[in-house]
Amino acid sequence: MRRQYLAVMALLSLYATMFCVMGAENNSSVFLEGAEINDSGFRPNVDGFSFQNYGDDPATVDLTPTEMQRMFGDRVCASTAGGKCTLTYPAERWMNQAVSAMKSGHCEGIAVLSSLMYYNETSPGLFGGSSVIDLSLQDVLLQREIGYWWTTQVTSPGGSKKVLESPQAVLDTLAGAFGNGSGSGEWWVMGIYLPDGSGGHAITPYAVEDLGNGTARILVYDNNWPKDSRFIEVDTLNNTWRYLASANPDEPNSLYSGNASTRNLEIVSLSSRLGRQQCDFCEKESAAANESTKNIQVWQSGKARALITDESGHRVGLLESGQFVNEIPGAEIRNLKFGLAGIGSDHPPVILLPLASINASSLAIEISSTSNGSQKNQADTAIIAPGFALASSVPDLGQGQNQSMDLFSEGEAYNVSIGASSQLSPTISIDTDYQRITLNGLKIDPSGRINISMNPALGAFSMSTLGNLKPGTLQLLMTSLDPASGATSTFKSLDLMLRPDDSVSMDLVGSFSEAGSPSLAISRKNGGMQEMSLQTVSRNVSADIPMDLPKDMPQVADTKNLTSSAQTGSIPSSGSDMSGSDMSMPSSASMPGMGTPTFP
């Protein structure tokens, strides 16, 4: 009888082993059964969201000026008239870049927010449910909260504290955190990438178990598979990892895998995202302010790669081989996690460069097409700095084409020289806090460049068509924002025929919201001069709050910028610390005729 009993038990053990192997393949049913377990207590079918990761859903709202003010403070507001934050133009540019990227997938925001709710840093009750699994994506406030936390992967210090040295380092860090259960002092979101660096996806780790014989598992909530328990397998003997999944649940599974040298498994801190974030696009608070940690940000969309080179020949960005390079001291390549399209498609990583790099050196930014020529490829590039932004949109950056932008500063002025390998007709927008100038109709050919200078402090703008054989017909549109009222006025020029080496300048000092119109001066190569007053398109236009969006935001007066249910008290006034509070629903400050999205 004993032999029969032992035989039955051996057979059952074999079945159990087979079940575990099958579970490793589909990752859908996971039981904590290791010899050593570190468990936070999080469970996807209770503490995860019931809805799946989503992308470009026109019914959802991602970010508004309210979230921007909450994240960065009042400095993002060009005006707070009437209790509404009307964003500065660089802030609006940055917000719209984030919203555009977010349309490729919201996995980062979902992964972060589910953790913060589990660790009681915020409450599902603020969004209409008693538990996370009960929440509905139909709630606009929840949509915006997901958008808020997605965005913190781009901010500093929000997305800067990482562990990615090796799979073992990730495993050890998580085991230490989960050893304290739900009382952990640090929380993490996990980023996974395919071996070639594509397919960026964010998931929520919640437990670690040691199965013995050099095998361990990291239990995760993957928002592409709501309610399921899944796991990453780590080979601790060889310091490798593997995860069978896909960046898109509608696509076939791909094997995510790596080792200590690939550095494609990472965990990113959540605690560094809770406080006020550094505003790279805000001007100095005072002359004495030390803002040496600020960055220039280079955002890009479309099938193209960016490579930035300083005067010493140091580079950061993506090489033609497809490999990332970072040789510039203090620069950072910030991979974005979508979970749908992934990186390497239409939204490459954001490149951060120390602001000092354009004071001591010029930066050559090369945007090269990665299109295969089979379809139209709109390539958009935005350079965002304190009180300044420049965006260039090429309608079709074809196979083999590239655009170059040399950037340097002189005192308070930003200077950009734009060239091209073949004739291109980009739309160029230049932002200061209170003005936006959009240039259409310009043509750049390999023989010439478009040189642009903007001094936000002096309100001086100039451009020239240096060396271009046929620089085109310029249409200039200017929008000016009145900080006292938050109203905008828009002006346009007549079509202006440009010749090689012509230059155009404008004085932007003063307000054009009451009377009069700005004028521009044209200096011809032959020495001729011409002045032209801009025509008024609209004046004193206030951006109204869309009627279909709720105005009852969560009341938060907390220095951690969180919608924490534990916070009580009244909402601060406009002049006080606005750490996450909302007085009313601010406008999007979208500008007539500027091609700027409406309230996102």
Q: What is the DSSP letter of 257?
A: E
Q: How many CB atoms lie within 10 A of CB 337?
A: 29
* Distance from C-alpha of 574 to C-alpha of 589, rounded to nearest angstrom: 18
The length of the chain is 600
Mean pLDDT over each residue of the chain, to the nearest integer: 82
Phi, psi (rounded to 5 degrees) for 538: -155, 155
Residues 6+ apart with CB under 8 A from 520: 476, 493, 504, 505, 506, 531, 532, 534
Q: What is the pLDDT of residues 194-230, one digit of tens each?
A: 877 777 899 999 999 999 999 999 999 999 999 999 9
Q: What is the pLDDT of residues 330-347, one digit of tens each?
A: 999 998 888 764 434 567
pTM of the model: 0.84
* Distance from C-alpha of 99 to C-alpha of 117, rounded to nearest angstrom: 23
33: which 2 tokens?
């059964």
Query: Across residues 390-409, what is the average pLDDT?
Result: 95
Where along the chain do its domains lie? 2-43+161-273, 295-335+344-541
pLDDT value of position 466: 93
Q: Is the pLDDT of residue 350 over 90?
A: yes
Percent of the chain with pLDDT over 70: 79
Q: What is the pLDDT of residues 522-575, one digit of tens each?
A: 999 888 898 988 998 988 776 544 434 333 333 333 334 444 433 333 223 223
* Distance from C-alpha of 112 to C-alpha of 434, rounded to nearest angstrom: 34
Q: Is the pLDDT of residue 440 over 80?
A: yes
* Distance from C-alpha of 178 to C-alpha of 204, rounded to nearest angstrom: 12
